[in-house]
């Protein structure tokens, strides 16, 4: 790859573009990996056991993986690895906040890589997963072939202010009204919800988790998706998402400083990076994609004009699948 730009690799792909997700597949291997005395992580492998390893990093933090996440990747070409991050999905203990930080997760990724005898892989991450992918790549650059990122989240004060205080609430005032209804007078949303979601009363936790997840689900897609809203109300899922997100957000995602990401992005300046972002992303504004490109000028940015934040919106989905197909050129 030395001396070549990412764009030059893309020109070698002449196949008819894939539309939609790849076919449904089942894992050929699944299991649990003990990464600390407390945490056990669910992981799975599907696709081609001899293929190029590609790791899917889910969002949230706290959302977990599902079967459709395997389908962004050509199963004949890629060895597809999914795992549920600490405290969510099938990983245990459920919704656990102890020993749950960004750098714990980065080291978990390395432990999974070692456990699966992988020397290097492509990293695919969306939303929170994009930030985790960046942090992991900064710390373990020699483990990474390249990055495919969606809905860039940079964990800045501006990001959190936009979604919880100044921006998105003006677009979704009805949902926001339900969110703030549980906040005691004089308190701010993030610390108040962190307290509610860790209340000794389980019913208080579940009520807060439902309100938190409802607001987030309403903002995820350009067009309202009632079926998606019902799925996110699952107590097991919504409690993990809300508890872990507030835990991370009140601690600024456990980054050493507010500039740590930007101080180290230059270290990724020779990695192939593809960024896909919805024009009307109400969770992570599209300018985040352009900020990232400013620090990584080799990155290719695709702005999907008729999409919001979700990786399941058709325009974003097609671009993500296109990106995973284009990345094959790195290895051919």
Regarding whether 206 and 167 lie in a shared domain, the answer is: yes
Q: Looking at the structure, do residues 27 and 146 belong to the same domain, yes or no? A: yes
Q: Say yes or no: 132 and 168 in one domain.
A: no
Residues 140 and 275 in one domain: yes
d(CA 135, CA 267): 11
CATH number at residue 310: 3.40.50.1820
The upper half-sphere exposure of residue 58, i.e. CA atoms within 13 Å in the direction of its Cβ, equals: 24
Please give the pLDDT value at position 232: 67
What is the DSSP secondary-structure string of 185-235? TT--HHHHHHHHTT-SSHHHHHHHHHHHHHHHHHHHSSS--HHHHHHHT-H
Angle (CA) 299-276-297 rounded to 5° is 15
The pLDDT assigned to 17 comes to 61
Verify that 21 and 127 share a domain, yes or no.
yes
- Alpha carbons 27 and 172: distance in angstroms, whole number: 38
Does residue 275 lie in a domain region? yes
273 and 152 in a single domain? The answer is yes
Final residue of a domain: which of 253, 280, 299? 253
Q: Residue 28 falls within a domain, yes or no?
A: yes
Q: Mention every residue, 6+ apart, whose C-beta is less than 8 A from residue 90.
A: 42, 64, 84
How many domains is the chain built from? 2
Q: How many Å apart are CA 293 and CA 102, to the nearest integer? A: 22
The residues that are catalytic are 127, 281, 309
Q: What is the pLDDT of residue 7?
A: 44
Q: What is the pLDDT of residues 197-217, one digit of tens each?
A: 999 999 999 999 999 999 999
User: Does some domain include residue 1?
Assistant: no
CA Rg, the chain, in Å?
A: 19
Q: What is the pLDDT of residues 237-296, one digit of tens each?
A: 999 999 999 999 999 999 999 999 999 999 999 999 999 999 999 999 999 999 999 999
Do the domain assignments include residue 191? Answer: yes
Question: Is there a single domain that holds both residue 237 and residue 216?
Answer: yes
* pLDDT given for residue 223 in this prediction: 87
Contact 66, 73 (CB under 8 A): no
Give the structural domain span for 268: 6-156+255-330
In a domain, 322, yes or no: yes
Contact between 81 and 125 under an 8 Å Cβ cutoff? The reply is: no
**What length does the chain have?**
332
DSSP code, position 268? G
Neighbours of 48 (CB within 10 A): 17
Q: Of 253, 286, 321, at which residue does a domain stop?
A: 253
Cβ atoms of residues 22 and 72 within 8 Å: yes
Q: Is 15 found in the same domain as 128? A: yes
| Pairing mode, strands 121-126 and 273-278 | unpaired
Q: How far apart are CA 249 and CA 100, in angstroms?
A: 12
| Confidence at residue 98, expressed as pLDDT on a 0 to 100 scale | 98
Task: State whether 104 and 180 are in the same domain.
Answer: no
The pLDDT of residue 202 is 95
* pLDDT value for 4: 42
In a domain, 99, yes or no: yes
Q: Cβ-count burial of 117 within 10 angstroms (0-12 exposed, 13-18 middle, 19+ buried)?
A: exposed
SS3 107: helix
Residues 128 and 20 placed together within one structural domain of the fold? yes
Q: Is residue 22 located within the same domain as residue 118?
A: yes
- Which of 238, 253, 268 finishes a domain? 253
Q: Any residues with CB less than 8 A from the CB of 214 and at least 6 apart, and which?
A: 175, 178, 179, 229, 232, 233
- Whether residues 116 and 37 share a domain: the answer is yes
Please identify every stretch of the chain with a pLDDT value under 70, giving residue numbers as ranges.
1-18, 228-232
């Amino acid at each position: 790859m030395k001396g070549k730009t990412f764009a030059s690799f893309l020109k070698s792909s002449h196949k008819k573009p894939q539309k939609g997700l790849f076919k449904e597949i089942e894992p050929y291997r699944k299991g649990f990996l003990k990464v600390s005395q407390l945490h056990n992580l669910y992981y799975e492998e599907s696709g081609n056991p001899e293929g190029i390893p590609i790791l899917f990093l889910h969002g949230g933090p706290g959302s977990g993986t599902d079967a459709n996440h395997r389908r962004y990747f050509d199963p004949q070409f890629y060895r597809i690895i999914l795992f549920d991050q600490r405290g969510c999905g099938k990983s245990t203990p459920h919704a656990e906040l102890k020993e749950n930080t960004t750098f714990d997760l980065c080291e978990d990724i390395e432990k999974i890589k070692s456990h699966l005898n992988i020397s290097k892989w492509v990293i695919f991450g969306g939303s929170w997963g994009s930030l985790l992918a960046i942090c992991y790549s900064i710390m373990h650059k020699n483990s990474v072939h390249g990055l495919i990122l969606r809905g860039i989240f940079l964990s800045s004060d501006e990001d959190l202010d936009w979604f919880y205080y100044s921006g998105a609430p003006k677009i979704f005032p009805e949902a926001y009204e339900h969110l703030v209804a549980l906040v005691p007078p004089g308190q701010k949303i993030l610390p108040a919800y962190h307290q509610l979601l860790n209340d000794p009363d389980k019913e208080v936790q579940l009520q807060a988790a439902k309100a938190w997840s409802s607001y987030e689900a309403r903002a995820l897609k350009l067009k309202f998706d009632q079926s998606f809203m019902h799925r996110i109300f699952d107590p097991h899922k919504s409690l993990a998402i809300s508890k872990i997100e507030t835990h991370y957000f009140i601690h600024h995602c456990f980054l050493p400083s507010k500039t740590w990401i930007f101080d180290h992005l230059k270290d990724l300046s020779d990695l192939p990076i593809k960024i896909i972002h919805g024009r009307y992303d109400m969770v992570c504004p599209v300018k985040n994609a352009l900020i990232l490109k400013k620090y990584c000028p080799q990155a290719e940015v695709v702005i999907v004009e008729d999409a919001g934040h979700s990786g399941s919106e058709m325009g974003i989905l097609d671009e993500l699948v296109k990106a995973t197909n284009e990345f094959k050129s790195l290895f051919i």
